[in-house]
Amino acid sequence: MSESAPPRGAAKPPPAATLRRIERHAGVLATSAVARMDETLPWFRALPADQRSQVMLVAQAGVRSLVEWLRSGGVVAAATQEISDEVFAAAPRALARSITLTQTVQLIKVTIDVAEAEVAALAAPGEEEPLLQAILKFSREIAFSAARVYARAAESRGAWDARLQALLVDALLRGDSSDVLASRAAALGWADAPPVAVVVGRSPGGDITAVLHAVYRAARRARIEVIGGVHGDRLVVVMGGATDPVAIAGALAETFGEGPIVVGPAVPSLDQATESARAALAGFRAAPAWPGAPNPVAADDLLPERALAGDMEARRTLRHDAYGALTRAGSGLIETLDAFFATGGVLESAARELFVHPNTIRYRLKRVTEVTGLSPLDGRDAFALRIALAVGRLDPAT
């Protein structure tokens, strides 16, 4: 009765003599491979002793897996994947964080080069070429296995980084101590490049890791540091090194979902970013009250809406920087604004109301702009001034 044919996709296993020779030379092959790595790869020589020994374990496991793979006839199936994956199971996962995928490919190449050089000594007479082809095919399986190992490590690291960033953003929003912020930022490799500003918008939805990855890509193009987190339906991004926060936020706008994108004020460092985060969140909640707002919009441009929404910091700013400044300036500026707004912004009517010349009204309105930075002749600024007058009269003086 004739022998059954090997499974489809399988090669005939090498003769038993070849397998025995490879098994006898397994230790020598692994040692030779590591010695060649030491000779040809400068970065390998710089590795700590424990990591070099781990690479030796991987090399030895690789030779053993080669024997198993040859014995199975190189069947391309789930069993093949298991055999090649066992090579990297010999070393701890930490090795994948110490050695890059590019460096791992270099290690595989060196090991295969050493195995190729020993084909004549390993193969039974007349089996040199089939063994060489089998080794090359096995190297391909090992390369795929390395890619799987690094892909799993990247996925795990990405998920862990996303959790760390969410914790950091949560700490910012709660106003945790600067020590807590610094330790969590250090774990993420954050370079505290001033100025720092916080951006809040709607999350585009979907996988959080994918959302943050899109933010990182946009940040690299804009050449800034970022830390991001998704909180409910909101995407919160901390930007470092953004000299023009609103303009830089515009470069990140494609990573947000539909709706307003609000940029908090710039602060000198991450440990002061809670102020920026709170302003951005308050602005995000109040932004629907200004349908014509630019997008992105600075949180400071939403002070009237924030005050109406109950943001005490916005009320304090309007009271101090607008109403308080007008009060300190004197010269009838508040009375002039009251008359100007009451008469629908007509200079002559306001002048008659106050029994002064229209030029006096013009001069006082100009002074209002100089004192507050807000022009009563501009519709948006006039709205902010009216809210500031109301807040100043409602809130007790400080």
Distances (CA, A) of 280 to 30, 99, 178, 394: 58, 40, 19, 25
What are the pLDDT digits (tens) for 268-301? Answer: 988 788 889 999 999 999 999 999 999 999 999 9
CATH number of 311-394: 1.10.10.2840
384 within 8 A of 375, measured Cβ to Cβ: no
List the chain domain ranges.
Answer: 16-153, 175-299, 311-394
Q: Mean pLDDT lowest for which of 164-168, 352-356, 384-388?
A: 164-168
Task: Work out the angle at residue 190's Cα, subtended by the Cα atoms of residues 184 and 196, and round it to the nearest 5 degrees.
Answer: 100
pLDDT of 156 over the 80 cut: no
Beta pairing partners, 227: 238
Domains 175-299 and 311-394 share a fold: no
pTM higher than the cut 0.95: no
What are the pLDDT digits (tens) for 173-220? Answer: 666 566 666 666 665 567 677 899 999 999 999 888 888 889 988 998
- Using CA of residue 107, residue 109, residue 112, residue 117, what is the dihedral sign? negative
pLDDT of 161 over the 90 cut: no
Q: Which CATH architecture does the domain made up of 16-153 adopt?
A: Orthogonal Bundle (1.10)
**What is the pLDDT of the chain when averaged over all its residues?**
81
| 234 three-class SS | strand
Helices H / strands E in the chain, number of each: 20, 5
Beta pairing partners, 63: none
DSSP helix, strand, coil percent of the chain (3-state; round to 5): 70, 5, 25
Q: Which fold has domain 175-299?
A: Alpha-Beta Plaits (3.30.70)
196 within 8 A of 239, measured Cβ to Cβ: yes
